[in-house]
Structures are given as C-alpha cells and as structure tokens.
Structure 1
Amino acid sequence: MEGMDHGDAGGMPGAAPTVLVLLPVAAGYLLAVRRVRRRNPSLGWNPWRSASFLAGLVLLAVALLPPLGTAAHTDFRGHMAQHMLIGMYAPLALVLAAPVTLLLRALRPTRARWVTATLHCPPARVLAHPAVALLLSTGSLGLLYFTPLYNHAVSHSAGHWLMHAHFLASGCLFAYAIAGPDPAPSRPGVRARLVYLGVAIAVHALVSQAMYGGFLVNIHAPVDQVRQGAEIMYYGGDIAELLLAGALVATWRPERRGKAAGLPRRPEANMTAPG
C-alpha cells in the first residue's frame, strides 16, 4: 500500500478552536448542574454524572489536540486511536452523564415539555432505536474502510472533521440507545439491547480482522500501520463494548421493566378505598 496522502489535511485548524468548543460545553453543563441544585437542593445532582461528562470532554480533547490529533493526519494508527476515543469511549462517558435529564431539570416547565415532545416525535423515536443506532455507528465502518470514502475524507480538512462529527454523534446515539440513563421512548428490553450489542461486537471483530488481513480494504496507508490500526480497533473496541455492557447492567432497573410489562403489582399496591 502507498503512504497516506492527506492533501490539505495539514491545514486543519489548530488547538484553539477545539478548546473554544469544549470549554463552553463544560461550562454549560456545570452551570446547568448549579441551577438544578439551587432549584431543588434536596434532589441535587449526582457528582459522578458531572465527573463522567467532564471525563468525556477530556477524552475528546486528547483525541483532537496534539500529539494524537496531529499524528492522526499522517499515521493510520493515530486515526484509529482517534476513532476509538471519539466514537466509543467519549460517547459512553458523555451519555452516562445524563445530559438530557439535566437539561429537563434545568429548563422551565414549558421548555422542558417542548424537549419531551421532541424526544417522543416519530423521527426521534426511530433514531433512538438500537437497530438504527447500530446501523449508523457500527454499520458505517464497512462503508468507510472498504470504499474510497476514508481516503477522500482524510484528504480534506472538512472531510476529516465531518468524519469526527459522525463518529461522535453515532457513538453517542448507540450508547444512549443501549445503556443511557436518560429516558428513551423506543428503547427495547435488556435482552434485545444485549443482542444489538453482541452484533456490534461481532461486526467490529469482523471489520478489524478483514483490515488486518487486507481483505477488500481500501486504505492508503502502509501495511504495518493498517495492521496495527486493526489491532487497536479489535482490542480497543472490545474494551469499550465491555464497558458499555457494564453500563447497561448498572443502569438496568428490573422493577421498571416489570411495570412496563404489565405484571401484577404486590397485594398492598392493589389495596384501594372502597367505593
């Protein structure tokens, strides 16, 4: 394979734009936490949620800023490390911070109802389904690495940033659909979500193995870089998906599932006043 030719990718914006985006996002989350705590001191906000959100932003900063952000434009291994951080690890940390729940608590009731109505609209329900999230996140790997799309994307700064945006958005969507603590109107039961997660694990394994063996791969990079990038995807993806599975188990509430399934309540819950 020939070396990576990124064209004008060297003209990518520097560290300042990344910092100027991440810092206001962090400040906005913390200000929302402060507002929620002031509005209802007894309810408050779990500090681990805040720590998770800030950790997600730190992971994004590590991926986008030098030295990794610079190396990713000339080394496929750097790109794959970026892919893992932006598309899998940072989304999980951001989603576990329950940003939608925080937003609903921080907004005024009229605006919160508008957000809730948006979450329940048909397009949002379709996007939030694990099958769609799986297709957008994991399913796009074949299109990216087995067609000329990757080579075209990294040849231009705009294409590279669009690729990052896709990794982050689809990764957040999949983590939200599988194990997000925020409300999701079209989220199926735990067993179904485990199946979707298992499919994602299998697809990641197949793509990384095909990449390692050079089977139908369309990546303009030295063979050793492609193989080591495949190893990063294989092992890094497994760890991220195990963390996602752990988050699914940790956020599972069996009693809620029982009520949703229409199971009979306990006798004391059925006791009502005569009449």
Structure 2
Amino acid sequence: MTAPASKRTVSPAWPLYLAALAVAAVVAGAVGEAFSGGSLAELGIPDPGLATTFGLPALRGVAWLLIALAAGSFLLTAFLIPPKQQGDDLNGARLTVDGHIASRTGAHASAGVALIGLAMIPLVLSDVSGQPLRTVLFEAAAWSQALDQVADARVWLIVAAFATAVAVGGYAATSWWSQVALFIGSIVVIMPIALTGHSATGGAHDYGTNSLIWHLVAMLLWVGGLMALVAHALRRGPGLAAATRRYSRIALFAIVAMAVSGVINALVRVRLEDLTQYAYGWVLIVKTAGIIVLGLIGFIHRERTIPQLGSRSGAFTRLAAGEVLLMAAVSGLAVTLGRTPPPPPLDPNLTRMQIQMGYNLHEPLSWSNWLTQWRPELLFSAIAVLLAVYYLHLVRRVEGWPVGRTVWWLLGCATTVVTLSSGVGMHMPASYSAHMTVHMILSMGVPVFLVLGAPLTLVRAAYPAGEFNPRLWAESFQRSKFLRVVTFSPVSTIQFLVFFYAMYVIEPLYELMISEHAGHVIMNAVFLLSGYFYFWELIGPDEIAGRPSAKVRLLWLWVSMPFHLFMGVYLMQLGSVMGEEFYRSLDLPWHPDLLDVQKAGGGIAWASGSFPLVIVFGELFMRWWREDKAETVESDRLADESDDEEWRRYNEMLAQFRGR
C-alpha cells in the first residue's frame, strides 16, 4: 500500500511560519530595543518600558511578515497553480484543495495583521508619549487621543481595516477570480505603511516614497511568494515545478526592483560617508548584505535545484526553508529602519516647497521650461517603461503584428513619462492649471493611445493556447462579468464623469488629495484607469463580449462629452479658490494669482477634449462605416443565396428604369 507512505511525506507548513514570525519578531524587537534609548533621549521622551520598546518593533516585524504571507498565498492561488478549470476560460473556475488551503492561509495571515493593527494603536501612543503600555492599553480616552493626535495610529487603523476586508474575503472565497482580487487587496494593505515614515518626510520625499513603494511591493512578492511556495512543496501539492518556474521569474524581477529602489531610497536620505557613523547606516549595511546573500541563494535555486525538482524536491524544500528564515531576519531588520534615527538630512535648510513637495520651483511654468525642466517620476513613469518593454518583448514573439498598434502603445507609454517627469509634472503639485493639464492628459490622452495598442489581443497571440498562462488570464478577463459591467456603456460613461467631478467639485476632498503625496498617487491611478476603461469600451480593438455597435457607442460619446466640457465652464466661473490654503503654504517666489490660475485650469479642462475627440470620432466613424459595409455585403450574399423574390423584383425595376 502506497497511500500511507505518501501521506507520511506530507509536512505541515505552520512550524515554518511560526519559526519565521519568531525570527522576525526577535530581530526587530532586539534591534529596536538596542537603539530606542538614544532615540527617546534625543526626543526628550521618557522610557515607556520594555513592552513598548521591544514589543512595538517586534509586532511590526510580525505584521510585515504576515502581510507578505497573505500576498504570497494569494499570488500562489491566482497565478502560480491552476484552479479547477470549467470550459475555455477561468470564469467560474473553483479552487483546488491546495488552492483552498493557501487561500485560508492568506485569510488567517490577514486576520492576524488586522489584530496587530489594532494593538499598534496604544503601542504607538505609548511610544510617542513615554507612558507605559499598561497605562494606555485599557483607557478609551487614550485610544481616542492616539487616533486624534498620532498619525501612525491612524495609519495602523487603516491597515487593520484593509486587512479585515481581505481576511473576510479570503474566508468566503472559493473561485479563481476572487483570488486575483484578494491578491490586489493584499498589496493595498501595505500602502498606508509605504506612504508614511522617514521616506515621506523631508527633501526629495517624492523620490523616497515612490522608491519605498517599489521596495516594499517587491519584498512582498519575493518573501511572501517563497513562503507560499515552500508550503505548497511541504504538502506535496501538484504542479510544483511549473509554479516554481513562474515564481523564479517573479523573484528575479523582485530582487532587481529591490536593489534599484533600495539604492535610490538610501541615497535620498543618507550620505555614503555617514553609513558607518550612525546606527541607521549600519542597519542598512546589514540589511543589504542579507539581500545579497538571498540573491545568491536564489541564483542557486535557478541553476541547480529548480532544474532537478522532479528528482530532488527535498533539496529545494530544505534550501527554500532556510531562505525563508533568512528573509524573516532581513524583514525584521527592515522594519526597524522606521524607528531608527536617520543621519542628519542632506539639506538641513529646507524650504516650505521642499517640505510640501520634496523639491523647489524657481519660475512659473512656460512653454520653454515645459521640456527643459526634468525630474524623473519613479512610480507611473517606471510602470510605463516596463509596459513598453514587455509589449515589445511580446511583439517579437508574434509574426505580422500591426506596426500601427505598436506605435500607439509606445506613444501612450512615452506620453505618460513626459507628462509626469517634465516641467508640467513638476509644477502639478504647485499649480491648479498644471494639475488640470496633467490629469486631462492622463485621463483623455494616454488612455486613447494605450487602448489602440490592443494589449490583450497581443498577449493572446504571444502565448500558446490550452495552458495556465497569461493568454488564459487575458481571455478569462475579456469574458468576465466584471468587464461586462465596467464596459457597459452607461456604467462606463457614469464612472468616467463621476470620478472627474468628485475630485474637483468636492473641495475638501480636492484639498486633501493635493496636500499629500499619497493623494497625487491615488488621483493619477484613478484617472488613468477610469479613462482606460471608458475609451476601451468606445474604441479599443480588444474583444469585449456584448459590446454595442459603433453607431451606439458614437451616440454615448455625444451624450457624455457635454457633461465633461461643462466642468471646465463651471471652473472658469467659480469665484473661490480650491485648495487655497495649500497653494499659499508653498510660498511660490512668483506669487501667482490663484484665481486666474484656476480659471486657466478650467479653460484647459474645457478645451482638452478636442484633441482626443478627433481620434475617437475618427476611429468610431471608420468602424461604423466598416460595420455598415459588412452588413450590406452580408445582406447581398443572403439575398443571392435565397433568391429573395422582393429583392429580385426591385433589381428588375431598377433595370427597366435604366433602360428607359
């Protein structure tokens, strides 16, 4: 009998998880405790006790590793192992037994993050006030004070809310599409932490924050993906070799992204000569050494253990388990950077503009400095470059791919980079008109170019059919209920208008968004995605099930555009300045008339639709003409085949008329 022997080879993953959490907690707590005395002394805060000085960084380390475990578990179920496929795509596909186990693991990890997020509220108050944890833990007034006065406490409450939503979804989820949504949600959980801390303050904090986002997301994919993969190997899950090869490519990208973003983040805040002079620098050095060792282990995986998975899966599991524990130690070190006092700032004399935006502006935006001023934007511009490279990689695999579609896609990516990294992107946080210019380009220019590149059609052509690969994911997305709802003409039009109006009509929301770097990130993402879905439904060459005819889509365009143009008229007639307090706080040296700048922004909003509408109207008209021509040809063919009596008499009448 082989079944009992097979069962004996299956090992649970929870001992590895507990060991990794313990390593992260001990490393983070010990390092945090070692440096807490100097930090508290510099700030003049009394020592709150070991429960806070050790417990706070230890819980941060555990929370970070749990977030990574959740992200990795949902990554495994969504993209590394296939579900039980039903039909030609993954719509309606249910999870396998291993998928259910991994999904529940992600839900458990997210629930743990939610509990830690709540526990961090009194811990943060104890840390910043010097009160012992037992004093503030059971006092409702202390919790209220923490949430009202301590920004980190509010951040952890948001983390707890996001993690709770992911946990509830993970416990209820049984389908493949739910795992994709939960994977995205698990990445969102880390964002409040990524947008705060040392990187979000001081000069060049736009570089610091964007590079930290890349760094943390890459670490989530790397650490969490490996933890989930090792658990899959321990329970002898099917498809381990294929899943490991997919993860290997993700890990290679992650380590490169971590290296580049880590260097940028360090250079923004630390001089090279200060690395060995401060505790912060030593933590960076040790963390970097750990990442290098992990990279070497990953290289060994790719060269030796992965090719031999069929015969030596035990060697892979043992090496990967050791790698997980080392990752946990590095993660524990990483979380202490947020509590370790950094070296003196590179520029101790920051202006109000540098504090608010991260850099200085010396002259107003003009046609001359639009393209002569440059400050690389590290988030959306980097994504645009990566998308351009990936698109060209796929084009090489597809014979006869239309050049026009490639040109449109590259034009969209290049427009994103130029818009966000040139002078207009630099002036966006400081000027209402520049802000409006950027967002009109992102919502009405870039999406038009990108949708005409037909990216999903390219993905489907570049990968083989019948496999669990990007082609199957793209086909499933194109046939999904989500896409049918989002691209339903009324829904597509309403979402495009609502997001635009909400951002610019609700003044408190607008002021909140422009005053924080996180707000700019959210607005850029919203306008890009909203515009993409809107124009994708109108003119995208990619297949969309149930899309109406070009004539109907042209009608919806006529209906929606006046509402969009009305916003520009409204802004031009508005007598009060939106975001006035923030704009005046920048202390711009050229002292602009804020109301005139706002009216100019309204004019830009009113006129900005003209250029993309030329392309959109032209594309829809040509498709209407082609559809009408195809219908005529088909009607003629059917008439010829059926020898339609009425049609024959009509032709005879025309012939007699021509004869007379």
TM-score interval, normalised by the smaller of the two chains: 0.7 to 0.9
Q: Tell me what 1:138 maps to.
A: 497
Q: Tell me what 1:266 maps to.
A: 638
- 2:464, 2:577 → 1: CA distance? 51
Residue deviations 1:22-79 (CA, integer Å, cap 9, x gap): 2221110001011112xxxxxx111111111111111111211031111011001111
Q: Tell me what 1:27 maps to.
A: 389
Q: Tell me what 2:410 maps to.
A: 54
Asked if the contact 1:201–1:241 (Cα under 8 Å) also holds between the matched residues in 2, the reply is no
Give the 3-state SS of the residue equivalent to 2:609 in structure 1.
helix
| Equivalent position to 2:478, from 112, 119, 140 | 119
Q: Tell me what 1:235 maps to.
A: 607
Show structure 1 runs of 5+ residues with no match.
Answer: 38-43
Give the 3-state SS of the residue equivalent to 1:186 in structure 2.
coil
**Structure with more contact order per residue of length (Cα contacts < 8 Å, sep ≥ 6):** 1
- 2:576, 2:487 → 1: CA distance? 31
Residue deviations 1:140-170 (CA, integer Å, cap 9, x gap): 2221111122211111111111100111111
Residue deviations 1:177-221 (CA, integer Å, cap 9, x gap): 011111111311223212221122101221111110007884536
- 1:22, 1:268 → 2: CA distance? 51
Give the 3-state SS of the residue equivalent to 2:439 in structure 1.
helix
* 1:6 Cα deviation from its structure 2 partner: 8.9
| Equivalent position to 2:622, from 210, 234, 250 | 250
* 1:118 Cα deviation from its structure 2 partner: 2.6
Normalising by the residue count of structure 2, what TM-score does the alignment of the two structures yield?
Answer: 0.37
* 1:229 Cα deviation from its structure 2 partner: 0.5
**What RMSD in Å do the two structures reach over aligned CA positions?**
2.8
- 2:402, 2:641 → 1: CA distance? 30
- 2:478, 2:576 → 1: CA distance? 39
- 1:91, 1:97 → 2: CA distance? 10
- 1:172, 1:208 → 2: CA distance? 21
- 1:32, 1:270 → 2: CA distance? 45
Asked if the contact 2:409–2:453 (Cα under 8 Å) also holds between the matched residues in 1, the reply is yes
Name the stretch that deviates more: 250-259 or 49-58. Answer: 250-259
- 1:123, 1:17 → 2: CA distance? 26
Amino acid across the alignment from 1:232: I
Name the stretch that deviates more: 144-153 or 109-118. Answer: 109-118
Name the stretch that deviates more: 211-220 or 236-245. Answer: 211-220
Identity %: 26
Name the stretch that deviates more: 262-271 or 174-183. Answer: 262-271
* 1:138 Cα deviation from its structure 2 partner: 2.0
How does 1:14-163 map onto structure 2 within 5 Å? 14-37=376-399, 44-110=400-466, 111=469, 112-147=471-506, 148-163=508-523
1:225 aligns with 2:581: no
Name the stretch that deviates more: 225-234 or 120-129. Answer: 120-129
Structure-2 change in CA distance of 1:215 and 1:202 (3 Å): farther
Residue deviations 1:107-149 (CA, integer Å, cap 9, x gap): 2213434422332121221012222221222222221111122
Structure-2 change in CA distance of 1:129 and 1:159 (3 Å): same
Structure-2 change in CA distance of 1:154 and 1:238 (3 Å): same
1:200 aligns with 2:560: yes
Asked if the contact 1:6–1:155 (Cα under 8 Å) also holds between the matched residues in 2, the reply is no
- 1:144, 1:6 → 2: CA distance? 23
Structure-2 change in CA distance of 1:55 and 1:114 (3 Å): closer
Amino acid across the alignment from 1:121: S
- 1:265, 1:6 → 2: CA distance? 69
| Equivalent position to 1:10, from 354, 357, 367 | 357
Between the two proteins, the alignment pairs up a number of residues equal to 259
Amino acid across the alignment from 1:233: A
Asked if the contact 2:575–2:595 (Cα under 8 Å) also holds between the matched residues in 1, the reply is no
* 1:263 Cα deviation from its structure 2 partner: 6.0
Amino acid across the alignment from 1:89: G
- 2:541, 2:629 → 1: CA distance? 13
Amino acid across the alignment from 1:10: M
Asked if the contact 1:146–1:216 (Cα under 8 Å) also holds between the matched residues in 2, the reply is no
Amino acid across the alignment from 1:230: G
Name the stretch that deviates more: 58-67 or 186-195. Answer: 186-195
Structure-2 change in CA distance of 1:258 and 1:82 (3 Å): same
Give the 3-state SS of the residue equivalent to 2:546 in structure 1.
coil
1:166 aligns with 2:526: yes
Asked if the contact 1:7–1:155 (Cα under 8 Å) also holds between the matched residues in 2, the reply is no
